[in-house]
Structure 1
């Protein structure tokens, strides 16, 4: 049989034994003894859903039933919705009248705040009070006092109110549900109106509080200002300080006092006197140097003109007469006389001007000296006043500060005003709540979908929970992935109480399954099936003995001499009645050959070695050196030796047998053998370095695994056709 024939026979994969087989199976030798983790793959999930499909469908049906019952028993609820617009306040960046600037606001924070205010307990209590819902027996049932009914009504409003933001806009959608459609519309509109009124009242209360605060502050600052002004006046009177500065100009310094003002005026007069004295001094010095030629020339102009005429006449007559001529002498005398008059007149002019300028110069000097003395006196007084004005300036600054603070508070008080605290509303109604025409709850379709999917989810969850609580080996993937063991075949469950009887029919599903498993066994080693094969299981009653009998028949049909050894000396399965004289236990305690103890069976080429008398210490017998010698002798006389071993857990028999056999097969009952127990059993076998060639699943249901097809899907024409296939297999092996 080739690989394709094996796959057609139901064997998905077969690995050789030893490390090579472990590597091909995906087993890492260093971590071989570690228990692999359970993974929820798609195949596993599909198998679980298919296996527990009736539970899941039942839970889905129950969910639908619960949804229908809840829908029928639920009270119809009517929902009314109103839409309001939120207008966040703006803050001017620049002062009014000094240029325009955009307003800034934080829409998200403000709208979230308004959302919280709409959901507040205080607003719910106000709506309950405005609509008098505490007195409505249809809204607040029960016998309670007035305050308790109002509180209960507010609680109902707060619980059933729903506030949502419309996308990213400034619109808020207010919804309220009730069993009365009229009451729903009334309440949702009451919430919208109460919210707007509450917003206006809150702003008015805020401005009223600000006004009260400013009034108190203004009164305090006014008293401080009056007190500081009184201290300033009293100190000025005490120190004789007279301030001539502006009444609202603050502290003018030294120039604000009378002494300072006088000093300034005297300084100005002194400067003018110095200028006048300098000018007079310069004029006097110039008069002394004779530099007033203009005035002298003006006073002697007529004399100089007469002299010039006589000088011209003298020069003219000099051409006719001698200088000593009397007429010439006379003219010369007249010229000399005019020269004397000019000189005398010039001297008189200079002497008169110098006297006047000297007098003016001396007067300027006297005035300057007098002013300088007065300035010196006033300077001392100003310095004295400056020392006495230190405290005055301190009080003056206090007065100025109080005056500015008082003016600022008055200005802010005027800006707030009574009307300024109200302004425009921060919310407005866009759509008022309308009377609902039909109930919005219960929603039958929605409830059915919730019930259906909820039931499916619950059923799947219960299935997963049951699956993982019942952690057993169920599928070939469990054998390969969880146990890291080669899967040889799956034996279907049978309705017969004696599965051995079904093996008589070669066309039965159980016979075909064992045939596939035995065929896969031929590919576990390079030389074919192990000649000394141990078959064991984790616990009793897993189909181990039936598997041994089926495998023995398979090898016998192929014409091989097969010896079946019943090595379960605690609870033997093959009882012939001759165990007292013949059997394995007798051979282990003696040196007899094996041939006299072998019993023929009703099948050709198949012999049986029963267990013999039940010993008190089976493990000690199996641990003796006699067992390997017996198996070696049986191997020489028979083609295949199949050993029926006891279960593994709790007993030392199976590990001892596995250590001396060429191969070991694990028989696992599907859906019954727990993963942890099977893994521990394999670990005990592998501790003794036994060669576990694979595992066989018994009572295996193909439908829940998601694998291929059933064995019943194929039928056979005759038994002769099976014999021909067996002979063809013999020829291929030869």
Structure 2
């Protein structure tokens, strides 16, 4: 058994902050491990938590049994980013790129649209089915329609019924994209399995039809727009062409079409430019011929027989060959005959004739070269003059063609726009009629065999989780706002005073009878308290001590009786004084007369022996409260109380005073200031620690020496960590 700490007036400075912390609602458990703290709370409020869980489970079971069974049908569709192209032509809508996630978000939004829901309602004729509105809990009477009466379904309110039915459908349809895929599940949950399957399939089919319709309407709008635009461009092209032709006629601009390049099949060229180009070519040829003729002409001057024409002339060459033969024959003759020989003279005459013929031919050849030169020069000059004239005409034509080119460009622009729109119009006409689609049904919905809700085990699990959360939350909240002392360790933590012992609650036996049984828990508990009191001072148990509490009925009188009994049984001389002159209880515990007692002595009576009552049962003497005085605090504030204590100590070893409660009265501080120590009784699971802290602060302010506390009416089953009686007996001194 460890020696307890003692609280004295010197410790008032340390207990007041702790009492203030208790007044602020602080528990002082900051040193307790968080796991043990939660375990303490769970064990303390285990019945609350368990009851909450069981209640929620029962509530979930009842709700599940009362819920209407529902069935879920699922249709799976595939949404591709690009539609499968039947023709290699671009549609009017721009296709989404692979990285464009907005495309899929748009498709999911269209699947949840009010318009699609109304299409499904119209397809299945749900707006004309009173059972459908009753099944989904739609009160048509709020909208001026007799609820559940088909006769109230008129054409005038058909649009309203369609909208209401569509809104009801949107609440039971779920759009669930499958992650990392192009698949989307369309789920429908209704009380009717067949209806769920019909709605799911109709939802997918109408979504595909709506997509095709939007594509067709977009193409139709584009075709109408292009038709109007083509008419405007056609009229503008005709006007610009008329303007171009009129200007060309007025300015006498004649251009010829050309096919020079495939990139510009409508290019034109002017006649002047063609003529200038042709004459330029002819002029170049004439110049070349003139230069060639001039070269031959200069070459034959002074050497007519050495010119190329002369050398290449067949007549001259023939004459020269004949002369060479005659010259050879003449040389043979002159070697044999004289020059006067007739044959020699005849051959010489032939040679002279051939030389004259060659000379004549050479003169004729030279004359023809000069004629060719003069002819070439004249032709060149004429072509040069014509080219200069055409250049002037071309420059004049270019000046007049500036406005013509402006008109021509306007014609070309209008023709390009017209041709482009015409080609686009033809493409849209083809793609709009094909009806391609990027959405396909993968799995159609069938009527489910098993209901999807309510799910009993899931609902029970959710109820258990909710009950646990609420129970734990309520336990934490109640534990936070609960200021009662539930564990022996909280006496030190919350109040800052030592714990002398823990006294269990006695249910079926009176405390006086339990003290007679040495094997009873109450006897053992107060035996531990008496043992701890021996260590509160150097002289052991204080000679004078009082027992008080915060409020009445906390067990202070039983504690005072038990301490006196334990001291008397240990061989000490003890007197028990009932200091509660407002609500005395010692006379009832001891079953003695209270006609004379403490109030008599404090009022001035000096005969002490007549005021003491011996108790053979408990082994100590007792002094009852005596007659009830009009003002007990006035009697206790006199010096008669100190005198009484001194006189009693002359006959007894210990004086134990059953003091009144502290709160609301001045009696307990007056008594506590005159005794050596005060034992404070604290009711377990009852009094608030804030009130106890306030009472302890009052006692400390009066100069009372608080020895420690006794935790009364303790119930181990309600303890946070399951303390048993052994804790209170064996560990009280260390609290």
TM-score normalised by L of structure 2: 0.69
Aligned length: 679
Q: 2:374 aligns with which of 359, 362, 374?
A: 362
Rate the CA distance shift 1:546–1:348 in 2: closer, same or farther, 3 A.
Answer: farther
1:81 CA displacement: 1.9
SS in 2 for 1:259: helix
- Where in structure 2 are the equivalents of 1:274-289 lying within 5 Å? 274-288=287-301
Query: 1:86 maps to which residue?
Result: 78
RMSD: 6.1
1:121 correspondence with 2:135:
no
Contact residue 534 and residue 645 of structure 1 kept, 8 A: yes
Q: Which runs of 5+ in 1 are unaligned?
A: 7-13, 318-324, 587-591, 716-721, 723-728, 730-734
Contact 1:570 1:618 in 2 (8 A): no
User: 1:211 and 2:204 equivalent?
Assistant: no
Report the counterpart of residue 266 of structure 1 in structure 2. Answer: 279
| Native 8 Å contact 1:162 1:175 kept in 2 | yes
Matched, 1:225 2:218: no
Shift of residue 703 of structure 1?
1.0
SS of match in other structure, 1:256 = strand
Compared CA separation, residues 368 and 616, structure 1 to 2 (3 A): farther
CA distance 1:369–1:125, change in 2 (3 Å): same
Question: CA 1:616–1:697 in structure 2 vs 1: closer, same or farther (change >3 Å)?
Answer: closer
- Unaligned runs of at least 5 residues, structure 2: 135-146, 588-593
Distance 1:86 1:427 in 2: 6
Evaluate the alpha carbon distance shift between residue 265 and residue 463 of structure 1 in structure 2; reply closer, same or farther with a 3 A threshold.
same
Alignment deviations for residues 675-707 of structure 1 (CA, whole Å, 9 cap, x no partner)? 444556667888999997765433222112254
CA contact 1:472–1:672 (8 Å) conserved in 2: yes
CA separation of 1:657/1:414 partners in 2, compared to 1, >3 Å: closer, same or farther?
farther
Deviations 1:533-592 (A, max 9, x none): 887655555444544554566567666788989998998988985545756x99xxxxx9
Task: Label 1:205 to 1:344 Cα distance change in 2 as closer, same or farther (>3 A).
Answer: same
Contact 1:491 1:514 in 2 (8 A): yes
Deviations 1:40-86 (A, max 9, x none): 95545445444545555554554455445445544444x26242432
The 8 Å contact of residues 84 and 431 in structure 1, kept in 2 or not, is answered as yes
Please state if 1:138 is matched with 2:151. no
Residues 479 and 400 (structure 1), Cα distance of their counterparts in 2 relative to 1, 3 Å cut:
farther
Higher relative contact order (CA 8 A, sep 6+): 2
State how far apart, in whole Å, the 1-side matches of 2:482 and 2:388 are: 120
* Correspondence for 2:170 among 158, 162, 168: 158
TM-score (norm. length: structure 1): 0.69
Q: Deviations over 1:396-444 (max 9, x none)?
A: 3333233223222222222233664553454444554444556555555
Query: Partner residue of 2:142?
Result: none
Kept in 2, the 8 Å contact 1:307–1:338? The answer is: no
Mapped partners of 1:526, 1:400: distance in 2: 125
CA contact (8 A) 1:218 1:406 kept: yes
Note the C-alpha offset of 1:486. 5.5
1:4-49 CA deviation, whole Å, 9 max, x = no partner?
xx9xxxxxxx77989xx99xx9x99999998457789554544544
SS in 1 for 2:133: coil
Which residue of the other structure, out of 685, 688, 699, is the alignment partner of 2:713?
Answer: 699
Moved more, 130-139 or 33-42: 33-42
The 3 A distance-change label for structure 1 pair 166 and 352 is: same
Deviations 1:627-676 (A, max 9, x none): 99999999999998988877677889989999999987664332233344
- 8 A Cα contact 1:512 1:711, kept in partner: no
Q: Name the CA shift for 1:517/1:303 in 2 (closer, same or farther; >3 Å).
A: farther
SS at match of 2:130: coil
Give the counterpart of 1:670 among 676, 684, 703. Answer: 684
